[in-house]
Amino acid sequence: VGGEPVNVVLRRVGQLAIVLFVVTVLTTLLFSLLPGDLAEVSIPFGSDEQRAALREDLGLNEPLPVQYGRWLGHFVKGDLGDFYRQGNVTSVRERVKATAPVSLELMLYAQILALAFAIPLGIFTARRAGSLPDKSINTTAYGLLAVPEFVLGLILAYVVGVELKWLPPQGFVRWNVDLGEHLRSMVLPAVSLAIGQVAVYMRLLRTDLVATLQQDFILMAKSKGISERRVMWRHALRPSSLTLLTAAGLNVGTLIGGTIIIERVFNLDGMGHLIFEAINERQIAALQSLIALVAAGYVVVNFLVDILYAVLDPRIRRA
Amino acid sequence: VPDADRTDTGIALEQPMHGGEHNVSVATNAAVVAATLPSAIGGVDVARSKRLGIMGWFAMVWLGLVVLMALVPGLFPVTDLHSRSLDAITNDSFGPSLAHPLGLDVSGYDLLTRIVYGARASLLVSVGAIVFAMLIGGTLGLIAGYFRGIIDTILTGILNILLAMPFLVLALAFVAVLATGDNVSYAKRVSVVLLSVGIASIPPLARITRANTLAWSEREFVLAARLQGAKNRRIIWRDVLPNVMPAMFSIALLGIGLIIIIEGGLALLGAGVPATIDTPSWGNILASMSPQLFLGKPWGVFAASLAIFLTVLSLNYLGDVVRARFDVRESVL
């Protein structure tokens, strides 16, 4: 740790590049391990000419480094390959354009919900540390950590969607079609993703606040006659924002994994659904691009959180 | 232990402690890491006690039952995996009853039987993956933490790159490439699932082992052993490893729970233990029964969810007890 901020950023960019390189090389290697002919697997119903064209396009007849170079060239230009189905070919890029917003919206809603519940709960429990409400909330959070999001999702879908019929148990409406229905269709998936995160953020914030509240500057603020609410929100909560940011960054991986699965559970037409289709229909070339894309997204978000963290925290900036 | 990159109990060791300011940021990091662990319910005594307590005994008994299910399913009140209740289908009644305490699935198979037999595949994948990761990751961590220097720098660099990878997606890719298709045998599919999850668990386990090894190999008794002329291998084996074991063990317990959950996730994505009548796993019961839930027949999902929840909760709790009992965190910091 240390060095000028610029150096830190440069080092992180270097690390980012290495990770992206390794991930994409690994996937290329992995897909070259595939038994059988990749073109045959992807378009078993196609004609010999079509397969030959695909082989040529992917560089399957060339050595691996050339194959990788060709794939990377396509990928960087935004050519993610095609989905082959009998009678039609759709470009993966178009599918990603249609599905990625769904996944991103879902992750965003889940994150907002999680923080909206975790922050008040964290403050509430920290102020009453050791009391009965504190203990029961903590015990509940502990239990929730053992509930996978898909279990939560399925049970919510059954109780709220199928039995009570309050919300649609499955399916998805775009926000530009009907905003109200869009939000209604997103409630259950977002809540199922958020609850586990609430538990994590809340416990983190509680621990953090309990420690902060014992510091001298809090006593100082209180003795100046500043209201308890103001001390909590303006003085005590502030240092914890960095902790929450770090935790949110660390959570990105869990969130991506959770989103892919939750999309399956609620039948949302997002990236997770696309990956599932690619696996099920053995669309290997498409799958390779999709995996690289998700991996890149994951690595880049982590990188951005790191940078943001360094920018926000004066201690790191100066160190 | 894919998510355990944030469960590095010894992260504070990786940075030297300088001035006061620096200490604060190191402490925050450690706190962040700690809070994402089930144990870190702050200092609140959910699982901080060094004794087992009632919860702990519950956890032990349940896990004991699960192990028995996996080893000798016949001990439990189960029917044959192939026997179906056709009455249930004609009467359209699949809910729990005296004869079928967890209900029946839509084809008329007893769910208790499927859950009991499913324990084997779920445990095989999760315990197998963790044992594999402990052997490799533990060895790497011990070597890096004990010898330090260039070996440590290289290994840590590689581990950091591996930790930055999205694990679930890569596991999916492994299974999709190496073990999907019509002619893939059950054994092959299960071993590919086990290995891909196991490989992903290596980096976090290696990191935790390394951090703990760093701390323990600083201690006087290691120096004493060295001065007496003990060889490195002996010191690692006799002095360092026994002290690092509790930390590895408690993370391993959490990891097994996490992988049981991941097996369920993979099954929902069509990349888990294949769902056939003979090869139930908790994940594939949940996945294959989930469409039925939307048709008002939730029993299959409920049964599998309950088994997963109780097992993961028990593993989390016991992991915490081990940690508290051996003062893992305290001894490292």
3-state DSSP assignment of residue B109: strand
- Comparing CA positions, the residue from B333, B84, B173, B209 lying closest to residue A285 is B173
Which whole-number Å values give the CA distances from A167 to A151, A181, A182, in the listed order? 18, 9, 11
pLDDT grade, residue B30 (50/70/90)?
very low
Report in angstroms the alpha-carbon separations of B84 from A228, B100, B114, B184.
Answer: 65, 11, 12, 27
Given a cut of 90, whether residue A175 has pLDDT beyond it is no
pLDDT in tens, A255-264: 888 898 999 8
Residues of B in contact with A319 (CB under 8 A): 21-22, 25
Which among A146, A158, A298 has the least Cβ separation from residue B166? A298
Test mutation, A8, A11, A279, A302, chain B, max B CBs within 10 A = A279
A29 touches chain B (CB under 8 A): no
Provide the CA B197 distance to its chain's centre, in angstroms: 10
Write the secondary structure of chain A as one string of H (helix), E (strand) and C (coil). Answer: CCCCHHHHHHHHHHHHHHHHHHHHHHHHHHHHCCCCCHHHHHCCCCCHHHHHHHHHHHCCCCCHHHHHHHHHHHHHCCCCCEEEECCEEEEHHHHHHHHHHHHHHHHHHHHHHHHHHHHHHHHHHHHCCCCHHHHHHHHHHHHHCCCCHHHHHHHHHHHHHHHCCCCCCCCCCCCCCCHHHHHHHHHHHHHHHHHHHHHHHHHHHHHHHHHHCCCHHHHHHHHCCCCHHHHHHHHHHHHHHHHHHHHHHHHHHHHHHHHHHHHHHHCCCCHHHHHHHHHHCCCHHHHHHHHHHHHHHHHHHHHHHHHHHHHHCHHHHHC
- Reported as a pLDDT band with limits 50, 70 and 90, residue B185 is confident
Handedness of CA B25, B30, B31, B36 (dihedral sign): positive
Measured in angstroms, the CA of A203 and the nearest CA of chain B are apart by: 6
Among A residues 255-284, those touching chain B with beta carbons less than 8 Å apart? 256-257, 260-261, 264-265, 272, 275-276, 278-280, 282, 284
- Taking residues A268-273, what's their average pLDDT? 88
What percent of chain A has pLDDT above 90? 18
More confident residue, B31 or B78: B78
Cβ B264–A154 below 8 Å, yes or no? Answer: no
**B107 has a pLDDT exceeding 60:** yes
Confidence of residue A314 (pLDDT cuts 50, 70, 90): low
Per CB-CB distance under 8 Å, the chain A contacts of B44 are 129-130, 134-135, 138
Write the CB contacts of A189 (distance below 8 Å, at least 6 apart in sequence).
Answer: A106, A110, A153, A262, A263, A265, A266, A268
Instruction: Enter the ipTM.
Output: 0.83
| H or E segment and range at residue B160 | helix B149-163
Judged by a CB distance cut-off of 8 A, whether residue A219 touches chain B is no
Q: How many Cβ atoms sit within 10 Å of the Cβ of residue B246?
A: 17
CB < 8 Å to A265, chain B = 268, 290
CB contact under 8 A, B290 and A242: no
- The interaxial angle of helices B282-293 and B299-325, nearest 10 deg, is 140
Could you say which of B173, B286, B313 has the minimum Cβ distance to residue A30? B173
Taking the alpha carbons at both ends of chain B, their separation in whole angstroms is 22
Asked whether the CA dihedral B66, B68, B73, B76 is positive or negative, the reply is: negative
Q: How far apart are CA A170 and CA A186, in angstroms?
A: 9
Q: Are B259 and B201 in contact (CB under 8 A)?
A: yes
Mean pLDDT, rounded, of chain A: 83
CB contact (8 A) between residue B164 and residue A302: yes
Task: Give the number of residues written for chain A.
Answer: 319
Q: Which of these, B276, B245, B232, B300, lies nearest to B95 by C-alpha position? A: B300
Q: Which residue has the higher pLDDT, A36 or B218?
A: B218
Q: Are B196 and B316 spatial neighbours (Cβ–Cβ below 8 Å)? A: no
Q: Is B167 on the interface with A (CB under 8 A)?
A: yes
pLDDT greater than 90 at residue A296: no
Q: Is A237 on the interface with B (CB under 8 A)?
A: no
**How high is the pLDDT of residue A263?**
92
A246 touches chain B (CB under 8 A): yes
Cβ of B38 within 8 Å of Cβ of A145? The answer is yes
Q: How far apart are CA A22 and CA B85, in angstroms?
A: 52
CA distance B98 to chain A (A): 24
A vs B: CB pairs below 8 A: 198
Measured at the CA of A95, the angle between CA A94 and CA A99, to 5 degrees, comes to 120
Between A13-17, A184-188, A190-194, the lowest mean confidence (pLDDT) is in A13-17
Q: Show the DSSP H helices in B269-333 as ranges.
A: 282-293, 299-325, 328-332
**Interchain contact, B168 vs A295, CB within 8 Å:** no
Is the pLDDT assigned to residue B3 strictly greater than 70?
no
pLDDT tens digits, B273-318: 888 888 899 999 999 888 888 888 898 899 999 999 999 999 999 9
Give the chain A residue whose CA is nearest to the CA of B4. Answer: A250
Structure tokens at A272: 């997770």
Q: Worst-scoring range by mean pLDDT, A30-44, A131-145, B319-333?
A: B319-333
Q: Which residues of chain A are within 8 Å of residue B264 when distances are taken between CB atoms?
A: 148, 150-151
Check whether A200 has a pLDDT greater than 90. no
Name the burial class of residue A300, with classes exposed (0-12), middle (13-18) and buried (19+) by CB atoms within 10 angstroms of its CB: middle
B residues 273..292 contacting A (CB < 8 A): 286, 290
Query: If pLDDT is split at 50, 70 and 90, which confidence band does B34 have?
Result: very low
- pLDDT beyond 60 at B28: no
Is the pLDDT at B66 greater than 90? The verdict is: yes
Query: B113-137 pLDDT, tens per residue?
Result: 999 999 999 999 999 999 999 999 9
Question: How far B239 CA sits from the closest chain A CA (Å)?
Answer: 31
Question: Count of CB atoms within 10 A of residue B252's CB?
Answer: 25
Q: Tell me whether residues A204 and B32 touch, CB distance under 8 A.
A: yes
Taking contacts as CB-CB distances below 8 angstroms, the residues of chain B near A238 are: none
Give the B window 192-231 contacts with A, CB below 8 Å.
none
- Contact, A154 vs A265, CB < 8 A? yes
pLDDT band at B6 (very low <50, low <70, confident <90, very high): very low
Mean pLDDT value across residues B190-196:
91
- Taking an 8 Å cut-off on Cβ atoms, the answer to whether B264 and A151 are in contact is yes
CA gap A280, B172 in Å, rounded? 11
Six-digit token string for B246 = 């509790």
The verdict on a CB contact (< 8 Å) between A280 and B270 is yes
pLDDT at B146 over 70: yes
Instruction: Give me the pLDDT at residue B48, please.
Output: 53
Is the per-residue pLDDT at B79 higher than 50?
A: yes
Q: Beta strands A82-85 and A88-91: pairing type?
A: antiparallel
What is the pLDDT averaged over residues A41-48? 74
What count of Cα atoms within 13 Å lies in the side-chain half-sphere of residue B198? 20
Residues of B in contact with A155 (CB under 8 A): 298, 301-302, 305
Residues B246-275, mean pLDDT to the nearest whole number:
89
Cβ pair A169:B6 closer than 8 A: no
**Residue B41 in contact with partner chain A when CB distance is under 8 A:** yes
Can you tell me the mean pLDDT for B88-97?
77
Categorize the per-residue pLDDT at B7 as very low, low, confident or very high, splitting at 50, 70 and 90.
Answer: very low
Instruction: For residue B156, give the 3-state DSSP assignment.
Output: helix
A19:B269 CB<8 A: no
Candidates A31, A124, A142: best to mutate against B (most CBs of B within 10 A) is A142
Give B230 to chain A, closest Cα distance, Å.
35
- pTM, rounded to two decimals: 0.84
Give B73: exposed, middle or buried? Use CB within 10 Å, 0-12, 13-18, 19+: middle
The pLDDT value given to residue B42: 35
Q: Which of A297, A195, A283 is nearest to B173 (CA)?
A: A283
CA of residue A184 relative to chain centroid, distance: 21
* Alpha-carbon A98 to chain mean position: 18
Q: What is the mean predicted confidence (pLDDT) over B47-60?
A: 76
Q: Which of A35-39, A130-134, A235-239 has the lowest mean pLDDT?
A: A35-39
Whether chain B has a CB inside 8 Å of the CB on A21: the answer is no
Percent over 70 (pLDDT), chain A: 94
Bigger pLDDT: A306 vs A244: A244
Q: Is the pLDDT of residue B141 over 90?
A: yes
From residue B225, alpha-carbon distances to B107, B140, B215, B228, B229 in Å are 65, 22, 16, 5, 7
Chain A: residue nearest B42 by CA? A207
Cβ contact, residue pair B165, A23, below 8 Å: yes
Shortest CB distance from A27 goes to which of B173, B286, B312?
Answer: B173
- Greatest alpha-carbon pair distance for chain A in Å reads 83
